[in-house]
Structure 1
Amino acid sequence: MIDYRLLKEQMDALTGTQSRPVPNLANASALLWQILPDLNWAGFYLMEDGALYLGPFQGKTACIRIPLGQGVCGTAAQKDQVLRVYDVHEFEGHIACDSASNSEIVLPIHDGDDVIGVLDIDSPLVGRFSEEDEEGLKEIVRVLEKNCIWK
């Protein structure tokens, strides 16, 4: 069982004294990688010129550019909604950066009303992400939205 309240406090302490997005996202991905079990990727894609580009992450190498509306990340960003995918092989248009990934959760990150990126977390386990994970990770994203100056 993950204590998301404690994880939120740790994330706020880690990122609250530095407003630069890249260092904050680098530390955020490392913290998530250390705390959350059964992951094979944890990181960020950032919006640039109408597409998502690879940002700080932990895990195996990853896709560099994801067009809006493609894959789980591009769809979550385009629709501005959290996508919690039980089995990525059943998600039409899934982009397999790592064939070992079986489930995924993607959460949009905002600067005001604009989606400026996503938090993307993959697992080799089917059905790894629960509603509790989704709610806890929403709080983590809110901390990052608050603690970073995006533009």
Structure 2
Amino acid sequence: MQAELKKSLYADAIKELVSITEGETNVTALMATVACILSEKFDYYFWTGFYVVDPAKENELVVGPYQGTLGCLRIPFGRGVCGAAASTLETQLVADVHAFPGHIACDSRTNSEIVVPVINGDGQLIAVLDIDSVEHSSFDETDRVSLETLMQRIFAQ
């Protein structure tokens, strides 16, 4: 996708999502809406959704709202791309998931991935946003900056 088109689509998505979610406090509703809009807007997204920190299980993510094929049900912190994002609190931008140490293949068709930590207004990790693509090297700095900005605008209120 051309860089300018990608930037424009993200600007539209952020504007739309901020407008739609204004005043909404239910985290599940917010996550479902974000996953839906992003999945619809970006044709290179194969799987779009959230893995939520499970308060009943220390250091474990559980699948949350998503769009796409069946996702893994649970992912421990530190395991795979999602677990790495959860344990480091840093966005993981992976051009080839098959070369990522400890990669978890929830769907073997995934070839690249970006995972963004979702931090609430109290500074606590509540989830990770996971986006997969069937193409290699689908995600870049535009995706990283735009998705980090979106997560902050929607969830850190």
Same fold per superposition (TM over 0.5): yes
Contact 1:108 1:119 in 2 (8 A): yes
Higher normalized contact order (CA 8 Å, seq sep 6+, divided by chain length): 1
Give 1:113 shift. 2.3
TM-score by length of 2: 0.90
Q: Number of aligned pairs?
A: 147
Q: Are residues 1:7 and 2:13 paired?
A: yes
Which residue number in structure 1 is paired with residue 41 of structure 2?
35
Which residue number in structure 2 is paired with residue 51 of structure 1?
60
Give 1:61 shift. 0.6
Contact 1:51 1:65 in 2 (8 A): yes
Deviation larger for 111-120 or 127-136: 111-120
- 5+ long unaligned stretches in structure 2: none
Instruction: Select which of 104, 125, 141 maps to 1:131.
Output: 141
Distance, in Å, in 1 between the alignment partners of 2:99 and 2:68 is: 23
Which residue number in structure 2 is paired with residue 141 of structure 1?
151
Distance, in Å, in 2 between the alignment partners of 1:71 and 1:16 is: 33
Matches within 5 A, 1:1-151: 1-2=5-6, 3=8, 4-48=10-54, 49=57, 50-111=59-120, 112-147=122-157
Deviations 1:43-76 (A, max 9, x none): 0011012200000000001101000100100111
Deviations 1:91-117 (A, max 9, x none): 010000000000000000112222111
- 5+ long unaligned stretches in structure 1: none
Secondary structure in structure 2 of the residue aligned to 1:19: coil
Give 1:133 shift. 0.9
Give 1:37 shift. 1.9
Equivalent AA in structure 1 for residue 74 of structure 2: R
Distance, in Å, in 2 between the alignment partners of 1:116 and 1:25 is: 11
Distance, in Å, in 2 between the alignment partners of 1:133 and 1:7 is: 12
Secondary structure in structure 1 of the residue aligned to 2:156: helix
Contact 1:11 1:143 in 2 (8 A): no
Equivalent AA in structure 2 for residue 128 of structure 1: S
Distance, in Å, in 2 between the alignment partners of 1:68 and 1:146 is: 21
Secondary structure in structure 1 of the residue aligned to 2:64: strand
Equivalent AA in structure 1 for residue 117 of structure 2: P
